[in-house]
Structure 1
Amino acid sequence: MHIRQYHHTDWPRICEIHDAARRFELEASGLADAFLTLEQTGETEGLFDATLFVAVQDGVVAGFAGYTNDEVTWLYVDPSRYRNGVGRALLRAVVKAAPKPLALDVLVGNDAALALYQSEGFRIIDTVSGKLAGNEAFAATAHVLQFQPAPPH
């Protein structure tokens, strides 16, 4: 697997990945009806305000992640490649590249994502409720996590 910077030619593929993975994320959180495509939300949700990485596996973009100065803002993996280390590799690349402290939000119910983030040193610091980012017609509850690596032995 290779992690590299996003290139504009990756757009169609990251749209496919986002749209498939976002459905899983929202269903796990009881928000399936809130689904909107990346084409509908990417611009307004600041996709291109983030530094973006893609993971290439077997010659195909398998996932993407983005971060700003203090937040992991995007991390989606093609569902056909779940549990193959793609999300972990992207998260590790972001943690390495991004300034600290680094935070992120995870929808309550998205237990697989929460487990990944916690296994990589993120800890829940708060749980908040409000409008769903990207589709404000829906209310959501999310855990707020902050990167808190374990101290060296």
Structure 2
Amino acid sequence: MPIVVRPYAERDWDDLCRIHDAARLDELRDTVGLAAYLPLAETYENEELFSQPVRVAEVDGRVAGFVAASTDEITWLYVDPALYRRGVARALVADVLERAGDRVELEVLDANVAARAFYEAVGFVHEATTHGKLAGNEAFEATGHTLVWHRAS
């Protein structure tokens, strides 16, 4: 299953919404609860999705996931639930790290065990735990973990 990572194009918007909206349910289910769910179309501006470059992963010509990241932070990473554990997230993170500086950080919700295990498997380590408002739906409180990747010297 070849995975191609490329820059986001406006034609990808519906796919980003489809992927985010399905995967966000998985992210929230065991963390802060499904009551905190809001669709991407309602949150992307407030959460500044496009303030960093967005890249998409394609499998067989279809958008399978996306990432928004700068050279030092990953702010969004979602994969189509039908394609979990097939290398899509790994390809997106590898693409980010290829362009990254010496340090990249991200946040993972507490109890999002699968995401944390994935990031640790690709070299991120736990740096801090924080508690505050849930990004994207500030009516909810959340606990998150900051994970950091360092380029090997």
C-alpha contact 1:66 1:75 (8 A) present in aligned 2 = yes
- Out of 111, 114, 132, the position equivalent to 1:112 is 114
Partner residue of 2:136? 134
Equivalence map 1:1-153=2 (5 Å): 1-149=3-151, 151=152
Q: TM-score, normalised by structure 2?
A: 0.94
- How far apart are residue 133 of structure 1 and its match? 0.5
Q: TM-score, normalised by structure 1?
A: 0.94
Moved more, 94-103 or 19-28: 94-103
- How far apart are residue 100 of structure 1 and its match? 3.3
Distance 1:93 1:104 in 2: 15
- How far apart are residue 139 of structure 1 and its match? 0.2
Q: Partner of 1:103: helix, strand, or coil?
A: strand
- How far apart are residue 99 of structure 1 and its match? 2.7
- How far apart are residue 68 of structure 1 and its match? 2.4
Q: Gaps (5+ residues) in structure 2?
A: none
C-alpha contact 1:67 1:98 (8 A) present in aligned 2 = no
Q: Partner of 1:36: helix, strand, or coil?
A: coil
Q: Gaps (5+ residues) in structure 1?
A: none
User: Paired residues, what number?
Assistant: 151
Distance 1:148 1:40 in 2: 34
- How far apart are residue 69 of structure 1 and its match? 4.1
- How far apart are residue 95 of structure 1 and its match? 1.1
CA-atom RMSD in angstroms = 1.2
Q: 4+ residue runs of structure 1 moved beyond 6 angstroms? A: none
- How far apart are residue 70 of structure 1 and its match? 2.3
Q: Write the deviation string for residues 69-113 of structure 1: whole angstroms up to 9, x where unpaired.
A: 421001000000001000111011111113332100000111111
